[in-house]
Amino acid sequence: MAPFCSPVLVLRLTLRIKQIALDNQDRTIRHLRAQLATERRGLAATKKELEETQVALEASHKVIAGLAEIGLTMSKKIEKMKVKKQQVRANHVECHQKFQARIHEAEDSMQSQHLIIKALVDEKDSLLQTIHGLQEANNAPAPFDGEWEEEPEEEPEEEEIGDIPLGEGEIL
């Protein structure tokens, strides 16, 4: 005999699995946000270093104005620093965009899963209403009142065909 698996139990298990997936995605988003914050702090320190370097270069540039030979050397260094600053800026923008894309993907995924869960809950409610309506139509007692309680499984007694009264058990 196949084990009995209630549609409500299946729905609850499905909802729990979806909730676990949402929790995992929430942890992933928090982890990615923490990584983004760490990266931002590192980039802020680099930016500060670059600003300090830029200030030092500007002060040096005043001295270089009178010294043509030293001026050429320092100009090359300034250009390298500008390129490095642009590279750092470009890397920062790219990193920021990647993290934002990941965050948006995770948020979109969470939103779609939320809609799926909502649809499953609505479907569960509809199924419960249908079951309740069938029970009322057959004058059957409600098997549960919103709380699922598992009853110990008992070995069903096999009924012989002759033991089933005619007219009972029919679905209207």
Give the pLDDT score at 138: 87
Per-residue pLDDT of the chain (172 residues), as tens digits, is 456 678 889 999 999 999 999 999 999 999 999 999 999 999 999 999 989 998 888 877 776 666 767 667 778 888 999 999 999 999 989 999 999 999 999 999 999 999 999 999 999 999 999 999 999 888 766 555 555 555 555 655 555 545 555 555 555 4
Give the pLDDT score at 172: 44
Strands (E) across the chain are located at none
CA-CA distance, 153 to 10, in Å (whole number)?
18
pTM: 0.32
Give the pLDDT score at 141: 65
DSSP 163: G
Give the pLDDT score at 73: 78
The CA R_g of the chain, rounded to the nearest whole Å, is: 35
Give the pLDDT score at 48: 92
Give the CA distances from residue 44 to residues 22, 40, 89, 97, 100, in Å, rounded to whole numbers and listed in that order. Answer: 32, 6, 11, 17, 18
Residue among 86, 122, 98 at smallest CA distance from 32: 98
Give helix 68-137 / helix 7-64 axis angle, nearest 10°: 170
Q: Is 142:132 a contact under the CB 8 Å cutoff?
A: yes
CA-CA distance, 118 to 126, in Å (whole number)?
12
And the tokens for 79?
Answer: 């250009």
CA-CA distance, 168 to 98, in Å (whole number)?
65
DSSP 3: P
